[in-house]
Amino acid sequence: MKYSQLDSDALLLNVRSGNAAAFSELYGRFWEPFYLFVYRRLRNEDDAKDVVQNVFVNIWLRREQMMVNNAAEPYLYTMLRNEMLKGISRSIKDRSRQQEMETLLQPELEQLLTPMQKEIIFNHIDGLVNDLPDRMQQVYRLSHEEQLGVREIASRLELSEQTVRNHLNAALKKLRFGLKEALLLILLADLV
């Protein structure tokens, strides 16, 4: 049987009965449109791929419970949308947890460092900020030094809000990595 000639409804019925070849055809047919659908909304390649992968895993694992009544594509896109929303929710919770941990650990870290070590770290951070690309540095400084929000920065620099968020995320990622390096150097210096 040529699964490539089946419409989506018939293909999904074959998947539902456990047909791996039909699943492979479904995957080949829908992976790219699913990916583009999610990527346009999330604007993150890895997250989009994760969402699509989770949908296909769920299709296979829950194939026997699928209730498709001649509406395979709307059913599949509903699954995709729901998985995307779950992913967004998980991401928000993870970021919130990370911020809580950083807030809790910051006082302990402050107490462990000598004034000289703190000065070294602050100087290192200043150097890292100065090394950021111009636009990213500008966005970071407006956010952290002038305490402006994303919307205000976007308006002032005539950028989209998403571009501002992207710059902030990239800057913070670089600064976190640089901060870890500085802390490691301080710890190694103390061992010598």
Q: Quickly list DSSP for 143-186.
A: HHTS---HHHHHHHHT--HHHHHHHHHHHHHHHHHHHHHHHHHH
State the Cα–Cα distance between residues 88 and 44, nearest whole angstrom: 11
* Long-range CB contact pairs, 155-159, < 8 A, 24+: none
Q: Tokens for 111?
A: 């107490």
pLDDT digit string (tens) for 103-140?
Answer: 554 665 666 667 777 777 778 888 888 999 999 999 99
| CATH 1.10.1740.10 placement within the chain | 3-89
Class of domain 113-191: mainly alpha
Instruction: Give pLDDT < 70 ranges for the chain.
Output: 1, 92-113, 187-192
Q: What is the pLDDT of residue 108?
A: 57
List of residues 6+ apart from 66 with CB closer than 8 A:
12, 15, 16, 59, 75
Report the distance separating Cα 121 and Cα 119, nearest Å: 5
pLDDT number for residue 98? 58
Is CATH 1.10.1740.10 the classification given to domain 3-89? yes
Residue of 137, 148, 146 whose CA lies nearest to 170: 137
pLDDT at 191: 56
DSSP result, 15-63: HHTT-HHHHHHHHHHHHHHHHHHHHHHH--HHHHHHHHHHHHHHHHHTG
Burial environment of residue 38 by CB neighbours within 10 A (0 to 12, 13 to 18, 19 or more)? buried
- The Cα–Cα gap between 53 and 13 comes to 20
CATH 1.10.10.10 placement within the chain: 113-191
Residue closest to 168 by CA, chosen among 133, 136, 131, 135: 136
